[in-house]
Every structure is written in C-alpha cells, then in structure tokens.
Amino acid sequence: MDHFLYKNGVLHAEDVPVADIAAAVGTPFYVYSTATLLRHFRLFDEALDGMDHLVCYAMKAASNQAILKTLGDAGAGMDVVSGGEYRRARAAGIPGDRIVFSGVGKTADEIRTALAGGIRQFNVESEPEMEVLSAVALSMGKVAPITIRVNPDVDAKTHAKIATGKSENKFGIPIARARAVYAHAASLAGLEVIGIDVHIGSQLTDLAPFEAAYQKVADLTEQLRADGHNIRRLDLGGGLGIPYERTNAAPPLPTDYGAMVKRTLGHLNCEIEIEPGRLIAGNAGLMVSKVIYVKSGEGRDFLILDGAMNDLIRPAMYDAYHDIIPVIEPAPGTEQQPYDIVGPVCESGDTFAKQRMMPPLAADDLVAFRSAGAYGAVMSSEYNSRPLIPEVLVKGDQFAVIRRRPSYEEMINRDTIPEWV
C-alpha cells in the first residue's frame, strides 16, 4: 500500500497534488510520502512484536537525511555500508548505538570513524577485516562489537546482480568454516563476538530461501554456543521484495516474515535485527517526469521524457519494471496504445519501457514512475552533464524540497582545470 492516489482526477502524494509540486520545483523530481515510509517501518516493527528486536533501515535504498530522521524518530536503527553513510546517519541524528556497519570493504579510516562516533556492531565479512578491525580498536583503546557474516549457500532466486547468499558471491565467509573463523575472532583482543549475521539477497518474493538460511543460522548458533561463544544477537539482513508490477502476486507480508522468524529462531532467545530497505522506501517514492516529445517511428511511437537513465537507472541496469502512470487520470474507457518510453540520453539503454500500454499523451503531460523510492535517487548520476534531480518529502498537505536541483554553473564549477592546461 502507498499514499499516491488519484483524487478528483489528479494524482496526489498524500494530500498534495503532484502537479503542484511539478509547478514549484520543475521536472523531473523524486517525491516521497512520510505516511508510507512510517507505515512500512511499523509493519516490520510490529511483525517482530514479542521478540527483543531492532529494525535497522538499510539506508543504501534511499539515504536523504530527511528520510533517515523520519524513520529514526520512529525508532528505527540504520544499516550503513560506508563511512559516508555512517556520517550521514549521524548527521540525521541517529545515535551510534542504533547503527550497524555492514559491507565487504570497510577501510581502517571508516572503522576508526565509527568507533570514535559510536557503533552498535560491525558485521564482519572476512578474516583480514577482523585483523584490521581488532588492530584499529586496540589502537584507540576500544573493543569492537562484531557479528560475522556467514554465507549459507542458499539460492535466493532473485536477480543475479542482487543475490548475495550463494557460495560464488563475494559476501561473508562460508558457513562450513564458521566455527574456525569464530575461534579466530575470539582470540583477537580488540573484538567482542556478540552474534551472527546473514543476508542472502534483495527483492525476494518467497519466504522459503529465508527459512532455509535461518535454519542454518539456528543450527550454527547452537554449535557456536557449545564452543563457548556468547551468541546473543542475530542479524538477519533484509531482502523482502515489493510488487513492482501491480498485476503480479504480492510478495509475503512482513507479518508472514515475522511469523517465520519466530518459528525458526524464537527458541534461541536472541535479539533479532532485520535490515529492510526496499520494502520501506520502494513504494514510498515516485519519480515524476514530463513528456518532451511524442515521436512516431517505424512501426512504433515513442514518449520522450525529460527524465533519463541517469535519474532512474534500474531499468537500464536490471531490466527492472516500473509502473508508469499519467498524473492526470484518464477518463473511464480511454483507449490505450503502445509506446516505447525513453529518455533523452544518448544511449539505446536509456529506455524505461518498450511497447507499454498507455493512454494517449502529448508534450508537457506529466507521468509518474511508481515504486521508485528505493535505489532511485541514490543511484542517480550526472551522466551527460545532467544535474541531479530534486527530492521532495510530503507530509499530509505539506511538501518540502529535501535536495534541491543544482544549477548548471554549480555542477560545472566543481571541475578544476590545472594551470598547465
């Protein structure tokens, strides 16, 4: 569910007409719904009711500070994967004891920053990382709390570029080697082993891979406790998918996921952490764009938009589907026709949809890309020297620009030409 609905024939973000935002900030832009963000966070939080738990939003999905503060004020923790994300979370007011640091390539400087500013735990991905983390912690007179990410060799049955739990993926340590790696971690004076971490991928639409992975984690917990480790926290990652195509069957609900977690791991009396990103932010955001031209081609018509692959790269990168709808609701019975919906970038890959059925549209008409809140703005770029597009947050009948569009001069003036050129 989201809070983007037609009212009196005009698409609204909560109680704000999307066309009013377009008139104020120009197109293209991203717009997020506060009500949707909070609803999705609370669904996860309530799904784990009765268990000691923390929902840590995976901020790589959408990391604007206004979004982070909205979720943080509701009680969310944050899952960060870089020093920049850590600093952004802290700038948004998230306390260090609610920040989990994940990622396969943490540098000594990033580790130092997190230890100095406060951290809930590091999710360690390799033995070399453990050595560096221990050394940095000892040099600061600290002990770093860690979980170790295990790779359970479970096929998440998702897109190859977002699968993370198979043996050939770069993430974590093989679960078969876990006991030896935990023994090594326990021998390092700068580390405190507190739990286990696992994350098998993104955009999962079936609970079976989660359950298979979590059962392996349950067995490993018992083994590590028998070895003398005080395993008291299980970080289960994220990955629950969203319905990008409204005609597809809906993925499992957070309530179903929570019931599975309780069934599989509840007997261990561990604190549970989960790290949803896409399911919290995905349906909470739209990208809004304007038709520049309607072009007739050989056997097909094109809608050429002012939004492009640099603004929303998911279709070009993953062949991802997004519902695209007109901002002005078509009259009942309006006949639709197929369009290739494309952007202005000089790449054939700058194509959002091929032969998509749409009502007739004309230049200056507005369209909205649904389910664009996750991995939209955060993956955008200035390719073709196109400025980053604005982000807008709506709450009720109010809206505010939370990242403005830079001017061409600001973008170009970041370059420096050496004296000798």
Q: Find out whether 370 is annotated in a ligand binding site.
A: no
Indicate if 346 belongs to the active site.
yes
Q: How many C-beta atoms surround the C-beta of residue 68 within 10 A?
A: 23
Task: Please say whether the dihedral angle defined by the alpha carbons of residues 186, 189, 193 and 194, taken in this order, is positive or negative.
Answer: positive
Q: For residues 32 and 67, what is the distance between their CA atoms, to the nearest angstrom?
A: 9
- The DSSP-derived string for 211-222 is HHHHHHHHHHHH
Q: Find out whether 179 is annotated in a ligand binding site.
A: no
Q: Find out whether 414 is annotated in a ligand binding site.
A: no
Task: Check 331, 346, 417, 421 and give the catalytic one.
Answer: 346
Q: Find out whether 90 is annotated in a ligand binding site.
A: no
Q: For residues 111 and 134, what is the distance between their CA atoms, to the nearest angstrom?
A: 10
Q: For residues 4 and 327, what is the distance between their CA atoms, to the nearest angstrom?
A: 10
Closest CA to 308 of 25, 32, 27, 24: 27
Q: Find out whether 276 is annotated in a ligand binding site.
A: yes
CB 372 within 8 A of CB 325: no
Q: For residues 77 and 92, what is the distance between their CA atoms, to the nearest angstrom?
A: 12
Q: Find out whether 98 is annotated in a ligand binding site.
A: no
Place of tokens 């405190």: 192
Length of the chain: 421
- The DSSP-derived string for 109-178 is HHHHHHHHH--SEEEE--HHHHHHHHHHHHHTT--EEEEEEEE------S-GGGB--STTSSSSEEGGGH
What amino acid is encoded at 76 in this protein? A
Q: Find out whether 375 is annotated in a ligand binding site.
A: yes
Q: Find out whether 239 is annotated in a ligand binding site.
A: yes
Closest CA to 83 of 67, 72, 99, 68: 99
Q: Find out whether 277 is annotated in a ligand binding site.
A: yes
Long-range contacts of 151-155 (CB under 8 A, 24+ apart): 151/175, 151/198, 152/198, 152/200, 152/212, 152/213, 152/216, 152/217, 154/200, 154/209, 154/212, 154/213, 154/216, 155/209
Q: How many C-beta atoms surround the C-beta of residue 302 within 10 A?
A: 15
Annotated binding-site positions? 239, 275-278, 314, 318, 347, 375
Annotated binding-site positions for pyridoxal 5'-phosphate? 239, 275-278, 375
Annotated binding-site positions for substrate? 278, 314, 318, 347, 375
By annotation, the residues acting in catalysis are: 346
